[in-house]
Structure 1
Amino acid sequence: MSTVLITGASSGFGLESARLFAAKGYNVVATMRNTAAVPELDGQPNVLVTHLDVQDPESIQAALNTAIDRFGHIDALVNNAGFSLWGVFESLPRKKIQEQFDVNVFGVMDVTRAILPHFRHRQQGVIVNVSSGAGVFGLPMISAYNASKFALEGFSESLSYELLSQGIIVKIVEPGGVLDTQFSKRLAQEAAAAPAAPDDYAAFIAGAEEVFAGLRANRLASSADVAKVIFDAVTDGTTQLRYVATEDIKPLVDARRSTSEADYMQMMRGKFLPRLPR
């Protein structure tokens, strides 16, 4: 039986992925910082709930050791743990930006590095890194999150060449906003705790929030929908690198990847800076 290890499995994409893989007959290693968060996963014979904090290398290695002791091997890794800061860059404390990268980038790197000897020994393995539409196109108010996901995309693409030589496949899943995740709740908590932005940004922030409200109104996907894409990425048997996971971001992804730089920037500035030169 194949085994998948998922980080950040206490809610959202991670929890729904754990449910789906388990239902499909996989052994599931559902890792999270607080193992009491989802008691429903405990007790299933093909599910191991164990502690893993991506900011704690010792907990990463301990989780891998526990997983291999329980199931004998790991076939796939889903790097899902992550969060977003909200606010204009000038107001974001350096410490919080460091935390953003510690979780979204260095955490992914540390989990990946820890599992690679196991994958190389077996000359097989699939790594799915959960990115975001914000790893494709830049948006105001989430500059630190954008930067972390752009970094994740570049790391994943580069790594994919190295690891394919070892029989290991790297993939990127790019979701947009969904209706039922704790991600937005965490973002709101971070925004509430952040220092106030300088007053000069007030009009811009108000306009940007209107744009984001419109984007949120177009959310149609659920975390379960994204989990299906993650499952497909792990199991489809291809070396495809990127998977766009929700319909709401496809127009922006297509615009970023298919239109000229000038046309794309004019469109985006028209959304966020309608009264200024584009």
Structure 2
Amino acid sequence: MNKTILITGASTGIGQASALYFAERNWNVVATMRSPEKQETLKNNEHILVLPLDVEQPENIHQAIKEGIAHFGKIDALLNNAGYGQHGIFEATSPEQIQKQFSVNLFGSMNVIRAILPHFRERKDGTIINVTSGVGRVTVPLVSVYAASKFALEGFCESLSFELASQNIKVKIIEPGNIATNFEQTTKENFAKDDALTDYKEYLEGMDKIFQSIYSGGGSTPEDVAACIFEAATDESDVLRYVIGDDLKPLIDIRNNGTDESYMQVLRKLFTP
């Protein structure tokens, strides 16, 4: 019997690329998203079942898992990919925006994991793969709330990996650097700002030039990330973290192998206008 993966946030970007990547390698895919009626790319693939799932709605999650198991017989892996980035000056970010960021990126992932665990425990097998971010370990300016949600998800996954090993369930973390998707455009549209906070005006202008330079250099593709996710799902190793992107790997190395002071000096040099 072919293996099956359930993917959240499969409408575009990494989620959609992963659904296609796994299906092309004879996996069954439960591709979930908030608005499946808008999905055209995945719906006619015999290996892919497109279902509605909102990570903020637990009853919605249980229904998608139930339908996925009924359709394919079992689920072998979960890819928690749904999320978004709340960027901007922290002082301009509302409590509602902060709550929403954690509700989706952290609590949403927890909701899906909690719902799938009984199935994995019953089978004494399963792999949980969580897409975090490079800023889950290496922060940059103007993403404090987003980075906080990803740092929290990283800590949750690391701790969870120990207890679920007792059930023969693996936990994996995917850490992408800059990715060529519409993610950055979405974060710009949702950027937290307050025209009354004029003290930040010069700083924001300087940071805009720095980020334009970074993003103009391109980055990994969604297909690159999908390939890494497939490796994590199939390599049968106990590797926890998978780092993607030539822009991110050197910074991770500095954080892992140097002192905290040297790491901060490098980041301040990179991100001071």
Which category describes the TM-score, using the shorter chain as reference length? over 0.9
Q: Percent identity?
A: 47
Q: Secondary structure at the match of 1:127?
A: strand
Task: Return 218-227 or 91-100, whichever deviates more.
Answer: 218-227
The answer on whether the counterparts of 1:171 and 1:242 sit within 8 Å (CA) in structure 2 is yes
Paired position in structure 2 for 1:49: 50
2:123 corresponds to 1:122: yes
Paired position in structure 2 for 1:190: 190
Whole-Å separation in 2 of the counterparts to 1:12 and 1:240: 24
Paired position in structure 1 for 2:262: 263
Q: Secondary structure at the match of 1:119?
A: helix
Whole-Å separation in 2 of the counterparts to 1:210 and 1:259: 28
Give matches, 1:76-155, under 5 Å. Answer: 76-155=77-156
The answer on whether the counterparts of 1:207 and 1:272 sit within 8 Å (CA) in structure 2 is no
2:223 corresponds to 1:224: yes
Whole-Å separation in 1 of the counterparts to 2:217 and 2:157: 29
Paired position in structure 1 for 2:236: 237
1:194 is displaced (CA, Å) by 4.6
Whole-Å separation in 1 of the counterparts to 2:257 and 2:80: 28
2:9 corresponds to 1:8: yes
Whole-Å separation in 1 of the counterparts to 2:260 and 2:184: 30
Q: Secondary structure at the match of 1:36?
A: helix
| Structure 1 pair 106–35 and aligned structure 2 pair: CA distance change class (3 A) | same
Whole-Å separation in 2 of the counterparts to 1:84 and 1:197: 23
Give a deviation string over 1:133-192, Cα, whole Å, max 9, x none.
01011111010000000001000000000101100000000001122x12112212201x
| Structure 1 pair 55–196 and aligned structure 2 pair: CA distance change class (3 A) | farther
Paired position in structure 2 for 1:205: 204
1:237 is displaced (CA, Å) by 1.0
Whole-Å separation in 2 of the counterparts to 1:178 and 1:266: 25
1:195 is displaced (CA, Å) by 3.7
Q: Secondary structure at the match of 2:238?
A: coil
| Structure 1 pair 134–224 and aligned structure 2 pair: CA distance change class (3 A) | same
TM-score computed with the length of structure 2 as normaliser: 0.96
Q: Which amino acid aligns with 1:224?
A: E
Whole-Å separation in 1 of the counterparts to 2:17 and 2:256: 29
| Structure 1 pair 197–103 and aligned structure 2 pair: CA distance change class (3 A) | farther
1:101 is displaced (CA, Å) by 0.3
The answer on whether the counterparts of 2:177 and 2:219 sit within 8 Å (CA) in structure 1 is no
**For the aligned residues, what is the CA RMSD?**
1.3
1:267 is displaced (CA, Å) by 1.8
Whole-Å separation in 1 of the counterparts to 2:26 and 2:69: 17
The answer on whether the counterparts of 1:91 and 1:196 sit within 8 Å (CA) in structure 2 is no
The answer on whether the counterparts of 1:130 and 1:173 sit within 8 Å (CA) in structure 2 is yes
1:196 is displaced (CA, Å) by 3.6
The answer on whether the counterparts of 1:8 and 1:32 sit within 8 Å (CA) in structure 2 is yes
1:197 is displaced (CA, Å) by 6.2
Paired position in structure 2 for 1:250: 249
1:268 is displaced (CA, Å) by 1.6
Task: Return 34-43 or 221-230, whichever deviates more.
Answer: 34-43
Q: Secondary structure at the match of 2:242?
A: strand
Whole-Å separation in 2 of the counterparts to 1:197 and 1:115: 46
1:91 is displaced (CA, Å) by 0.4
Q: Secondary structure at the match of 1:178?
A: coil
Q: Secondary structure at the match of 1:158?
A: helix
Give a deviation string over 1:34-93, Cα, whole Å, max 9, x none.
102322211322210000000111110110011011011100000000100111100000
Q: Secondary structure at the match of 1:83?
A: coil
1:214 is displaced (CA, Å) by 2.0
Paired position in structure 2 for 1:20: 21
| Structure 1 pair 122–247 and aligned structure 2 pair: CA distance change class (3 A) | same
Q: Which amino acid aligns with 1:173?
A: I
Whole-Å separation in 2 of the counterparts to 1:256 and 1:203: 29
Give a deviation string over 1:221-272, Cα, whole Å, max 9, x none.
1111111001111011111000002222111111122211111112222233
Where structure 2 has 5 or more consecutive residues not aligned to the other structure, the ranges are none
1:273 is displaced (CA, Å) by 3.3
Q: Which amino acid aligns with 2:89?
A: V
